[in-house]
Amino acid sequence: MADAAGAAPRRKPVKITKDNVSDLMAQVDAFVLDCDGVIWTPLATGMYPKAEEALDRLRGAGKKVMFVSNNSFHPPQEKFKLMGYPVSEDEVVVPSTVIARYLKKRGFEGQALVLASETFKRTLQDQGIDVVQRTAEDHPEKIIEFLRLVGKDAGKVKAVIVDFDLYLTGLDLVKAANYLREDPECLFFACATECNIPVGGKICLGPGYWTEIVERASGRKAQWVGKPAPMMVTEFLKDAHQLDMARSIFVGDSLEQDMGIANNCGMKKLLVLTGMTAIEDLETCDPNLIPDYYIDSVADLGRLLPKA
């Protein structure tokens, strides 16, 4: 390798302190926050200490506060409610609500094959979308009978949606692959990206596996909705909430998902260190994911702001 002496120096994020917090506040109208690792830990039953105060102080300073999460299974508004800090549904963006909105806005007709949780399906149904029902089918051993089951909804399904689905079946995957293969107009959305998800000492299998299989078997590429894809921000925050991206900041703990979506949408980037990223990770990460600012925790951000 050539000597790196001539290379441009690696950009460094600015730590937010009492000396520069007012500069930041002057530049930003909206704080868009991830939740897992920022407001709470994934399995927690309460928010991080002083996270509530931080949100209150941001609001008190006249800032718009929004939450963007890949978790359509337990959407943040439910968790906030359980934790005694209710937020409006309008302040929360998850893939299921964005897809529901997207389909409704475009007058979607036809059925949706949804490899996801019942919560996810209800979100679509609440918007009038016809979701293919999974029935307790007979399990004939003859392939011809299996193909009859696969063919049952063929031609009617105009959208395939893949997310976290505990009870997915091989039949679902075969249906998804064939409908997408046979109908280039059939939409194909993928939400969360995880493959191996550790939960309660076990490994659960995430939607990353299912999306990959459906892509390989259908020859189609999914349209990603979850972070770091920009769809949740462009379809919702920008379009429905008219946020000015240049005056919005994404607050997250993950480089790839959170700093990634901010980077993909032209938002400012604020990293908190209460989740999956350590400050040392910035020395080796993709330079596009280096945040503009960092701070130890959301609580610390609150502490720097005046009381609401």
| Catalytic annotation, pick one of 3, 29, 34, 130 | 34
118 part of the interface to a second copy, by CB under 8 A: yes
Q: How far is the CB of 256 from a second copy (least distance, A)?
A: 19
Among positions 93, 173, 225, 301, the unique one binding a second copy when judged by CB under 8 A? 173
Measured in whole angstroms, the distance separating CA 211 from the mean position of its chain's CA atoms is 15
Question: How many whole angstroms separate alpha carbon 33 and alpha carbon 55?
Answer: 10
151 part of the interface to a second copy, by CB under 8 A: yes
Nearer to a second copy, 82 or 204 (CB): 204
172 is in an annotated binding site: no
Q: Cite the beta strand spans of 111-165 per DSSP E.
A: 111-115, 130-131, 157-162
185 part of the interface to a second copy, by CB under 8 A: no
Q: How far is the CB of 70 from a second copy (least distance, A)?
A: 16
DSSP letter at 142 equals: S
5 part of the interface to a second copy, by CB under 8 A: no
- Kindly state the number of chain residues that form the binding site for a second copy, as judged by CB under 8 A: 37
69 is in an annotated binding site: yes
| Residue with tokens 């046979």, as numbered in its chain | 182
Taking the CA atoms of residue 218, residue 232, residue 43 and residue 126 in that order, the dihedral angle to the nearest 10 degrees is: -80
29 is in an annotated binding site: no
Spell out a b/e string for 181-206, using b for 16 or more CB atoms within 10 Å of the CB, else e: eebeebbbbbbbbeeeeeeeeeeeeb
188: three-class secondary structure by DSSP: strand
DSSP-assigned letters across all residues of 49-70: TTHHHHHHHHHHTT-EEEEE-S
| Catalytic annotation, pick one of 36, 163, 165, 172 | 36
Q: What would the x/- binding string for a second copy be over residues 205 to 244, using CB under 8 A?
A: x---x---x--xxx--------------------------
34 is in an annotated binding site: yes
306 part of the interface to a second copy, by CB under 8 A: no
Nearer to a second copy, 1 or 143 (CB): 143
56 is in an annotated binding site: no
Strand partners of residue 67: 33, 92
96 part of the interface to a second copy, by CB under 8 A: no
Among positions 25, 171, 273, 276, the unique one binding a second copy when judged by CB under 8 A? 171
Among positions 1, 5, 26, 136, the unique one binding a second copy when judged by CB under 8 A? 136
DSSP-assigned letters across all residues of 231-281: HHIIIIIITTS---GGGEEEEES-IIIIIHHHHHHT-EEEEESSSS--GGG
Residues forming the site for a second copy (CB under 8 A): 117-119, 136, 139, 141, 143-144, 146-147, 150-151, 165-171, 173-174, 177-178, 181, 195-196, 199-200, 202-205, 209, 213, 216-218
